[in-house]
Amino acid sequence: MMLFLFLGLFSGLLPAQEWREKFEISEGIDAQLILENKKLSVMLPGEKRQIILRNLETEPEIVFKDINGDGFTDFLLNFPWKYGHTSGKIFLFNQKIAKFKEFKIKNEKLIDTELIEPQSISIRSSIFPSGTMNWKIFKFQNDAEVSLVIEEKSLQIPETELTLNKKIYYNQQENLKDSVVLQYGDEVEELYAYVFAEKTELFEKPEFGAVSKGYLIRDDQFLILDFNDNNWLKIRFHNENLNRDIEGWVNATELILNKYNLEFKGENQDGQINLSLLYPYYEEKSMFVFSIGLTNNSPRSFSIDHGHIFILLENPDGQRYLYNLYGVHSETLPPKKMNDTYGNNQEGKWYAPSILLDDNTVVWEEELQKFLIYHAENESINYLQFIPDTIPKGIYKMYAIFYKPFSYEQPIVSNPQEIEIPLPKVPFSGN
């Protein structure tokens, strides 16, 4: 069996070109994959043409391979998708009908698809939130059926060397249980950690709004038992007062920042670093724009290296939800005078921060059912989840927080803005 690899032009900005690529279905049986007039087709033996896809706007990456192990060459198409990822389509050769047929995995989108040995498919199972990497590996059990054999997940705690990895091995035999391996880096071991914040809340379930089981305080030691896709850790710690072990879930962000100590100290503080959250609603509240400016009104230069933007939400009952949004780029801000930052003119009030950290519309991704915001990082186009899935609906005060995790610098808290969740659903229209 001959195996070919063809890499097409891989840019959502370039139109699909016309080409022909010869490949071998099986020994001595040749075929051609043809792209012309925005149609992808296969020229089969006997001059029989099969239309595979119509109305192609961009060229995919194409891999020819016997994917399911039946002795016939199949092919994978990886198209440029949103947020810098790819969306795949698999076509398997069906010997009975002498044609290619699209193969789908139930309830799965083929994101960043890779073909691995033996007869296995690796796909990214989710792309949000940031700081997580989630993959699934499926293996063909016969010519047209796959089963999930391995699930891989990882979680990076902001500004730490703590990267957790988890592999779930799924057994196909009824008398064998699935197995879970939790790793710190490459080490398989029990992982203990400490609370850095003054106080960290413990919850019954890994979601915002879950029932609280109490608190851990700074320097409390705990054992990490598990984690999930949304930056939550399942832990066990020994309560000295009760003389027993307690298990629950903590929000990873709350391990490094105490949400109940975050207070806005007033607008336009001279001699301080000021963070401003601008009014977010536009066009009669049909659009939500997240705009934050940071200004160095202190007498000394201020570095934002290793800084992160966090979001703090507070409901009318005083319940607070805190999460990490993203890290900022490296820059040093020189001192800036107050009268060069804030002022009035004939058009009204004006504001000129040292740096505008964000000024982007929050968009609604219908396919993924998530609110996203654009964020450029390392010269790559990226979209991040703006509102976590489990934040309850309702009215909140929203604060932006600038903080350098594990530093001795105090968090900088912005002024609040009143918002309502869910936000306006502005359709995503970018690439």
- What's the pLDDT tens digit per position in 14-46? 455 688 999 999 998 999 999 999 999 999 998
Assess whether pLDDT exceeds 70 at residue 184.
no
User: Do 321 and 400 share a domain, yes or no?
Assistant: yes
Say how far residue 378 (Cα) sits from the centre of its chain: 16
- Asked if the structure places residue 309 within a domain, the reply is yes
User: Do 22 and 122 share a domain, yes or no?
Assistant: yes
User: Do 301 and 399 share a domain, yes or no?
Assistant: yes
Helix %, strand %, coil % of the chain (to 5):
5, 50, 45
- Asked if the structure places residue 176 within a domain, the reply is no
- Asked if the structure places residue 148 within a domain, the reply is no
Q: What is the mean pLDDT of the chain?
A: 88
Percent of the chain past pLDDT 90, that is, above it, reads 65
Work out the average pLDDT over 173-200: 73
Residue 150: HSE in the Cβ half-sphere, 13 Å Cα cutoff? 14
User: Do 242 and 211 share a domain, yes or no?
Assistant: yes
User: Do 119 and 32 share a domain, yes or no?
Assistant: yes
Assess whether pLDDT exceeds 60 at residue 276.
yes
Q: What local confidence, expressed as pLDDT, does residue 4 receive?
A: 37
Q: Which residues of 74-112 are buried (b: 16+ CB within 10 A; e: fewer)?
A: bbbbbbbbbbeebbbbbbbbbeeeeebeebebeeebbbb
- Asked if the structure places residue 158 within a domain, the reply is no
Give dist(CA 402, CA 294) in Å, integer: 9
- Give the dihedral of Cα atoms 215, 217, 220, 223; nearest 10 deg: 30
* Bridge partners, 90 (sequence order): 76, 103
- Asked if the structure places residue 428 within a domain, the reply is no
Q: What local confidence, expressed as pLDDT, does residue 159 receive?
A: 66
Q: What local confidence, expressed as pLDDT, does residue 12 receive?
A: 40
User: Do 104 and 243 share a domain, yes or no?
Assistant: no
Q: What is the residue type of 145? A: E
CATH number reported for the structural domain that contains residue 21 in this entry: 2.40.128
Number of domains composing the chain: 3
Contact 155, 132 (CB under 8 A): yes
Instruction: Identify which of 65, 67, 68 has the alpha carbon closest to the alpha carbon of residue 142.
Output: 68
User: Do 209 and 106 share a domain, yes or no?
Assistant: no
Q: What local confidence, expressed as pLDDT, does residue 206 receive?
A: 95
**Residue 123 lies in domain:** 5-127
Please report which confidence band the pLDDT of residue 228 belongs to, taking 50, 70 and 90 as the band edges.
confident
Q: What local confidence, expressed as pLDDT, does residue 13 receive?
A: 38
User: Do 305 and 335 share a domain, yes or no?
Assistant: yes
